[in-house]
Structure 1
Amino acid sequence: MRFSVYQESHIGGRKVNQDRMGYSFTRDSILLLLADGMGGHIMGEMAAAIAMQTIGNLFQQQAHPMIGRPERFMEDSFLAAHQEIHRYRAINNLPETPRTTIVACLIQNGYAYWAHCGDSRLYWMRQGQILLRTKDHSRLETLIAQGKVDPAERHTHPDRNKLFNCLGAPNAPIVELSRRAVLQPGDLLLLCSDGLWSVLPDHMLAQRLHDHTIVRAVPELIRSAVDIAGKQSDNVTALAMMWEGDDRMDNSTIISTNTLPIGSVTTTIQAPVDAEMEVTDGDVFNDAEIEKAIAEIRNAIHKSSRITSKN
């Protein structure tokens, strides 16, 4: 496999960055992950970190060097993360469960599979055009689909931040799975939080990523979103990958996995440690403290949904 990847996050105008992103890859499989902790509930950054590390750890356990059943992996790992967030709440006797949106993409054998809960998005682009993007699990998108709200109201409608699907809600999430996508060399996959897509229009995202390398385009898009939103800016996070397939191209930014041994994993998702940290009112968590909060993974499979406010 040959690909380029770049990720960046900005705190915006918030006191805490509740977004998390990262990727892992073996010789034959890549996992891209992005989570956006929900600020309308306590400790969203903790929910995002738990989700990232739970799903990332499962990938490292099962990708030898590929995931056997990609769709099943997506669903099971999301539900495992949901259960782990609830276990964290129970251990620490919190008044409510932290919550997060999540989007993930798994790439192997030239195919991409993605899944999401909430309004963190994935865009699949080719030659400056958006082939597909995920549909937000929001009250507003439901109203638009029903023809009750004009799509032009996406950025101003009062229900734009009301989500009916996330990890950490009282009921288990609905994991929306994509169809299998056949990637071509030059295809782009962008995962981003609503701090980016709610400020910049889709055509700008596609055009900027088409005109520039991802290493240049992603920071420019993030800066643009923060500048436009100003002091009210949400956390802004993006993770982009350009697929090169197996073509031989002389480019120092391209990662080639062909020489990686079976069993090796490269990751920017920090591995969990076995610790159960107690929390007290008013705690603010840094990345080191978040690392201490992750414990053994326990699976749970349920299906339901609930309206919940994100901000």
Structure 2
Amino acid sequence: MRFSVYQESHIGGRKVNQDRMGYSFTRDAILLLLADGMGGHILGEMAAAIAMQTIGSLFQQQAQPFIARPERFLEDSFLAAHQEIHRYRAMNNLPETPRTTIVACLIQNGYAYWAHCGDSRLYWMRQGQILLRTKDHSRLETLIAQGKVDPAERHTHPDRNKLFNCLGAPNSPIVELSRRAALQPGDLILLCSDGLWSMLPDYMLAQKLHENTIVRAIPELIRSAVSIAGKQSDNATALVMMWEGDDRLEDSSIISTNTLPIGSITTTIQVQIDPDIPVENGEPDMFNDAEIEKAIAEIRNAIHKSSRITSKT
């Protein structure tokens, strides 16, 4: 496999960045993940972190070096993350369960499979055109589908932030799965939080990513979204992968997994976070200096083991 990947997040005008993003890959499979902790509930950032940890850990356990049943993996891992978030609430006797949206994409054998809960989106783009994007699990999208609201009201309607599906809710989430998508060289897979897509029209996302490299386009799009939203801007996060199908290309920004030994994994997903960590003064001490240094060391070690692969994060 050959691909390029770039990810970036901006806290915006919020006190806490509740978005989480990351990717993992083996010789034959790639997992892209993005979660947006829901600010209307307590500890949204913890729900997002637990979801990332759970799904990322399951990928590392099962991708040997690929996932045998991609759709089943996505559904089961989402449900496992949902259960872990509820377990965290019970262990810490919280008044309510933290919640998060989630979107994931699994790529192997030249095909992409994705799933989502909530309004964190995935876009599949080719030659500046959007082939498909996920549909938000929101009250507004339901009204639009029923013909009761004009699509032009997406950015102004009062129900635009009302979600009916997420991880951590009282009921089990509805995991919406995609069909298998055959990728072509140059195809883009973009995962992003609503802090990005709610401020910028879809055509602008596609245009900027078509006209510029992913390393240049994503920072520009995030800056634009935060600037348009102003002082009350939401966290804005994006993770994008460009699929490369020609092994003859030589480019230091392109990751090639062909030399990876079976069993090795490279990841930017922090999987050392333990949901059993108690809450002190209402906040979990998840990211102390020692844990951050450990995560960095693990990532560097994984990159070193994978023949000095160069990636941008």
Rounded Cα–Cα distance in structure 2 between residues aligned with 1:138 and 1:226: 22
Shift of 1:165: 0.2
Shift of 1:288: 3.3
CA contact (8 A) 1:5 1:240 kept: yes
Per the alignment, residue 36 of structure 1 pairs with: 36
Query: Unaligned stretches of 5+ in structure 1?
Result: 293-311
Per the alignment, residue 56 of structure 1 pairs with: 56
Rounded Cα–Cα distance in structure 2 between residues aligned with 1:275 and 1:194: 26
* Residues 1:73 and 1:284: Cα distance change in structure 2 (over 3 Å): closer
Counterpart of 2:283 in 1: which secondary structure? coil
Per the alignment, residue 16 of structure 2 pairs with: 16
- Aligned residue pairs total 292
Per the alignment, residue 65 of structure 1 pairs with: 65
Q: Which aligned pairs between 1:85-104 and structure 2 lie closer than 5 A? A: 85-104=85-104
Per the alignment, residue 283 of structure 1 pairs with: 283
Shift of 1:280: 3.9
CA offsets, 1:228-287, max 9 Å, x none?
111010000000000002432111100000000000000000122556222144437563
User: Do residues 231 (structure 1) and 231 (structure 2) align?
Assistant: yes
Per the alignment, residue 138 of structure 1 pairs with: 138
Q: Which aligned pairs between 1:1-311 and structure 2 lie closer than 5 A? A: 1-274=1-274, 276-283=276-283, 287-288=287-288
Shift of 1:162: 0.4
* Residues 1:20 and 1:275: Cα distance change in structure 2 (over 3 Å): closer
CA offsets, 1:103-158, max 9 Å, x none?
00000000000000000000000000000000000000000000000001101111
Counterpart of 2:104 in 1: which secondary structure? strand
CA contact (8 A) 1:196 1:222 kept: yes
Rounded Cα–Cα distance in structure 2 between residues aligned with 1:238 and 1:279: 29
Q: What amino acid is aligned across from residue 235 of structure 1 in structure 2?
A: N
Query: TM (normalized to structure 1)?
Result: 0.91
CA contact (8 A) 1:185 1:244 kept: yes
CA contact (8 A) 2:13 2:234 kept: yes
Rounded Cα–Cα distance in structure 1 between residues aligned with 2:16 and 2:286: 9
Counterpart of 2:143 in 1: which secondary structure? helix
Q: What amino acid is aligned across from residue 231 of structure 2 in structure 1?
A: K
Q: What amino acid is aligned across from residue 60 of structure 1 in structure 2?
A: Q
Rounded Cα–Cα distance in structure 2 between residues aligned with 1:235 and 1:284: 20
Query: TM (normalized to structure 2)?
Result: 0.91
CA contact (8 A) 2:277 2:286 kept: no
Q: What amino acid is aligned across from residue 53 of structure 2 in structure 1?
A: Q
Q: What amino acid is aligned across from residue 55 of structure 2 in structure 1?
A: I
Rounded Cα–Cα distance in structure 2 between residues aligned with 1:108 and 1:259: 16
* Residues 1:41 and 1:275: Cα distance change in structure 2 (over 3 Å): closer
* Residues 1:64 and 1:100: Cα distance change in structure 2 (over 3 Å): same
Between stretches 268-277 and 229-238, larger displacement belongs to 268-277
Rounded Cα–Cα distance in structure 2 between residues aligned with 1:103 and 1:267: 17
Rounded Cα–Cα distance in structure 1 between residues aligned with 2:38 and 2:285: 15
CA contact (8 A) 1:27 1:262 kept: yes
Rounded Cα–Cα distance in structure 1 between residues aligned with 2:142 and 2:275: 40
Query: Unaligned stretches of 5+ in structure 2?
Result: 293-313
Pairwise CA RMSD: 1.6
Rounded Cα–Cα distance in structure 1 between residues aligned with 2:273 and 2:16: 23
Rounded Cα–Cα distance in structure 1 between residues aligned with 2:233 and 2:73: 34
CA contact (8 A) 1:57 1:272 kept: no
* Residues 1:58 and 1:9: Cα distance change in structure 2 (over 3 Å): same
Rounded Cα–Cα distance in structure 2 between residues aligned with 1:261 and 1:90: 40
Identity of matched residues, %? 86
Counterpart of 1:162 in 2: which secondary structure? coil
